[in-house]
Structure 1
């Protein structure tokens, strides 16, 4: 069984999120997704999520390509999460190219292209402008 792991905040779910999860699952048999905690997201982006971590976890858990979910508490623990979930492949968006190459000693690292023209930041900005 080939095990895939990926990570993200997955706030304000959009087609880009769905597509990366679908493509990640296509690389193996089992997809585990680490969802950033509210505290981790705030430490990375200095802003709160629209949806709290328990709701984001439930949303991601409900997606048909996702086999397992957990809360990611720290960026510094990625290697530990890879080991804990026995991942064969780490999948990240190509906006992170090179940032996770250090984990190539633990598993394969694949950077998938992001869906052009969509992001949570762009979606939220469009909502603010139309309000």
Structure 2
């Protein structure tokens, strides 16, 4: 059985998120979706998610392509792999060719995990949605881009 892992913030869930999960599920027998914790999102992006972790987990858990949803609380993807032991890691192609992406590929290659990239949805992103929400209600600090 080929186990896949697709990680993401999944904040302000949109069609790009759905496409990654759908494409990932088509390339594995069992799909685990890692939903990045509020703390890690704040650390990585500098702003907290609009939708809290427990709600994002509930949304992702109920997507038909997902067999299991877990909170991603570890900074290092290899530590996550040590816990879950997936065979393939799915990521948006905005990581392809970046230093982070190349490092991830090297680390996963060393443990036999394939990295598969899917097209990043440029028309819709959580960042764009967050900006739109902020323009509607500039007083809300939790929706700043």
Same fold (TM > 0.5):
yes
TM-score normalised by the shorter chain: which range applies? Answer: over 0.9
| 1:125 and 2:131 correspond | yes
- SS of the residue aligned with 2:94? helix
Structure 1 stretches of 5 or more lacking a match? none
Aligned residues: 130
Contact 1:82/1:90 (CA < 8 Å) preserved in 2? no
Q: Which residue is 2:116 aligned to?
A: 110
Q: CA deviation at 1:79?
A: 1.0
Q: CA deviation at 1:115?
A: 1.8
Q: CA deviation at 1:31?
A: 0.3
Q: How big is each residue's C-alpha offset from its partner over 1:71-91, in whole Å with a ceiling of 9 and x where there is no partner?
A: 111222x11222322211001
Further displaced range: 83-92 or 58-67? 83-92
Please tell me the root mean square deviation across aligned C-alpha atoms, in Å. 1.3
For the pair shown, the structure with the greater C-alpha radius of gyration is 2
Structure 2 stretches of 5 or more lacking a match? 138-145
TM-score (normalizing by structure 1): 0.92
Q: For residues 109 and 92 of structure 2, what CA distance do their matches in structure 1 show?
A: 16
